Amino acid sequence: MPSHTKDAAVAVTQAASFQDDQAQAPSARFSDWLVFQAGSDWAAATEHEFTKAIGDGTMPAPAYVRYLIEDYTFITDLASTLGYLVAKAPTMRSKARLSAFLALLTSEENDYFERSFAALNVPETTYRTAAQGPVTRQFSNLLLTSSGKGTYAEGLACLLCAEWVYLTWGLREAKKPRPEAFYLAEWIDLHAVPGFESFVGWLREEMDVVGNALSEAERQRVAQCFKDMCALEVAFFDAVWEGS
């Protein structure tokens, strides 16, 4: 929990700029400030009913099929986003971290989707040729535009939001006994393993370093990317949950 949220009165005066935030608390983290700036969208994403239904084993199969089909197209664009970020990353260490994640996304993660589609009787032609729904299209636009045309910081903020939201609900749902369906149980495990936690930890550190070096105007743009991404995570869950 960001330290600012503990004291609403202080938070109001700190909300506008990270610089003010740091002046009051030198240990303030830029990544925490991003969560704070996202406002209620953060909790709406991490505590969405859809995420709780994954862990409770109460997920209706049609909703999960809708989710997997959309998410498969999303992951494809996320892989392209990572390509842009690898290109823009300032150091070999950063390029190594991001490309290792890209390798995971295009191997193990792809395998999960294929096995889940098979178990849920989704034919290959359906998920390979599925057109993106409007929310996923907006998602992909934001990811590809911010990482391709924008700065490293903007693209990184989008990636951080997407991964941190999943780590947050994943760790929470992992405390419950695993549901019977392997595609639900594995989806929780994938987002609650130490390797994923450490990747998100690294993303936060990277964002803190990059964010500290930005101008206030750039920080506001980065915060907007993070917040927009957060709102789209909510819209994504809403769309598949409600079947719209």
Ligand X SMILES: Cc1ncc(C[n+]2csc(CCO)c2C)c(N)n1
Nearest of 73, 81, 82 to residue 137 by alpha carbon: 73
Q: Is 101 within 8 Å of 175 (Cβ atoms)?
A: no
Show contacts with ligand X in window 129-188 (CB under 6 A): 162-163, 166
| Integer CA distances (angstroms), 90 to 54, 69, 75, in order | 37, 34, 24
If one asks whether residue 193 binds ligand X (CB under 6 A), the answer comes out as no
If one asks whether residue 77 binds ligand X (CB under 6 A), the answer comes out as no
Distance CA 186, CA 189 (A): 5
Q: Which is nearer to ligand X, 54 or 210 (CB)?
A: 54
Six-digit token pair at 240? 């598949």
Start-to-end Cα distance in the chain: 33
Q: Which is nearer to ligand X, 33 or 199 (CB)?
A: 199
Burial class (CB in 10 A: 0-12, 13-18, 19+), 189: middle
Among 25, 43, 63, 105, binds ligand X (CB under 6 A): 105
**Given the rule CB under 6 A, which of 11-19, 33-41, 74-82, 212-220 is the region that contacts ligand X?**
74-82
CB of 219 to ligand X, least distance (A): 23
If one asks whether residue 228 binds ligand X (CB under 6 A), the answer comes out as no
If one asks whether residue 241 binds ligand X (CB under 6 A), the answer comes out as no
CB of 229 to ligand X, least distance (A): 8
The SS3 of residue 115 is helix
Residues in contact with ligand X by CB under 6 A are 71, 74-75, 78, 105, 109, 162-163, 166, 190-191, 233, 236
